[in-house]
């Protein structure tokens, strides 16, 4: 296996950054698959009116976000392996945990802000009617 060109400090930053990206992508990916599951479950229970279908846009979003999540996970695995080769007993678990926590926190804050914005927009539309 060829030697790595990155320094150990660069690899530590890569592990932290990739785990943060992974944490930030985790909630939207899970949300997309849950939305598809709810659309699939609702399509079987058509009440009065037309039968709701599964949205192709959400299928595409769920698939693309899953592929991107797997790519980031693969890159994270490669960078942790290279870091362990350069530094024996490198503490990568703590870096991954901190990075994923930061990414999940940022993603959750973004989702809360987005939901609040949509509710406020719907409320303003109701007031304008």
**Which pLDDT score is estimated for 6?**
75
**Which pLDDT score is estimated for 45?**
67
- CA–CA separation, 89 and 101 (whole Å): 22
**Which pLDDT score is estimated for 55?**
82
Q: Domain extents for the chain? A: 8-104
Transcribe 38-73 into DSSP letters.
HHHHHHT---SSPPP---HHHHHHHHHHHHHHHHHH
- CA–CA separation, 30 and 108 (whole Å): 12
**Which pLDDT score is estimated for 93?**
83
* Torsion from C-alpha of 56, 65, 34, 108, nearest 10 degrees: -130
Q: How much is the mean pLDDT over the chain?
A: 85
pTM for this entry: 0.76
Q: Which residues of the chain have pLDDT under 50?
A: 1
Are residues 118 and 126 in contact, defined by beta-carbon separation less than 8 angstroms? no
Please name the helix (run of DSSP H) or strand (run of DSSP E) that holds residue 4, with its range, or none.
Answer: none
**Which pLDDT score is estimated for 84?**
83
Tens digits of residue pLDDT in 48-84 = 566 677 888 989 999 999 999 999 999 999 988 888 8
């Amino acid at each position: 296996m060829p030697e790595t060109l990155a320094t150990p400090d660069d690899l530590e930053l890569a592990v932290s950054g990739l785990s943060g990206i992974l944490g930030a992508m985790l909630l939207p990916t899970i949300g997309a698959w849950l939305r598809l599951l709810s659309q699939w479950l609702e399509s079987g229970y058509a009440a009065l009116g037309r039968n709701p279908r599964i949205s192709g846009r959400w299928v595409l979003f769920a698939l693309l976000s899953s592929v991107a999540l797997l790519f980031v996970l693969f890159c994270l695995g490669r960078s942790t392996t290279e870091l362990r080769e350069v530094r024996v007993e490198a503490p990568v678990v703590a870096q991954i945990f901190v990075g994923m926590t930061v990414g999940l926190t940022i993603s959750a804050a973004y989702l809360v802000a987005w939901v609040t914005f949509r509710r406020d927009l719907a409320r303003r539309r109701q007031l304008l009617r």
